[in-house]
Homo-oligomer: A and B are copies of this chain.
């Protein structure tokens, strides 16, 4: 531990999972919403604790054994076989239960902040497992499609969830994303999970794999027409779109405004539109300016979690 550092402040970005054709294996970090987390030594304590949470409307527990940020921070200590007292301030600067990876942002922020405070003994890849422990406690599942892009930045493909084998896919320079978030729609992740069938017909599974693989090719080639043709979801969207009022209308208006593809972020209710260029992304956002909908316009966030002042 570097004795000269007594406090570290980090920002962990919101993330979009699935991206239409990559259910449980593809995710992307964006700019704008996220979690700001401060960690400091608390020599008088023997554990990792939470000193305050803001921006959560009082909905999150201060119990450090139940918060993804502190679970992930503790997991970093465990991984390094270290102990000691630390306390975290968690400032939610993004909606939660929104499909934008709120629990993953906390987990990534907690793990990254702890590692920074310790003098960065672990690489970002080495932090994946600790962050995933926080995320898994919240989501009750071991899927790294939010945690990986939050930690590593960019677009992340999870080759294998159990072993956290993650591949970074280079985003096209001109890929922009407009996120639509309707604060009044609530979707329980458990309900959204139930909408995904437990088995799929093999011909659908292989077609879906073809779409995901083609999206990867489209990203490498910056082929926006191929990206457009590839963002097709036969697995999760058919059951989940019914949970989101006006889904079809929002999709139609986004595409008419210039989006090249549209889908549900994670388990929703947030929706994403892929756009070719900033102008198109802003036009999509403008199409919803008179609706009770928050919009975020962003390029792919290739940094992931960062340390801030």
- Give me the interface of A with B, judged by CB distance under 8 Å: 21-26, 157-161, 165, 167, 169, 196-217, 220, 226, 229-230, 235
Contacts and interface: CB of A to CB of B under 8 A. Distances in A.
Contact of A157 (B21, B196, B200, B217): B217
B199 A229 contact: no
A209 B159 contact: no
A214 B200 CA distance: 21
A205 B209 contact: yes
Interface pairs A-B: 4 shortest CB-CB: A205-B205, A159-B214, A25-B210, A209-B209
A159 B207 CA distance: 7
Nearest to A21: B209
A167 B196 CA distance: 29
Best-surrounded residue of A24, A197, A215 (most CB of chain B within 10 A):
A24
B211 A159 contact: yes
B199 A201 contact: yes
Nearest to A230: B159
Contacts of A212: 209-210, 212-213
A206 B226 CA distance: 21
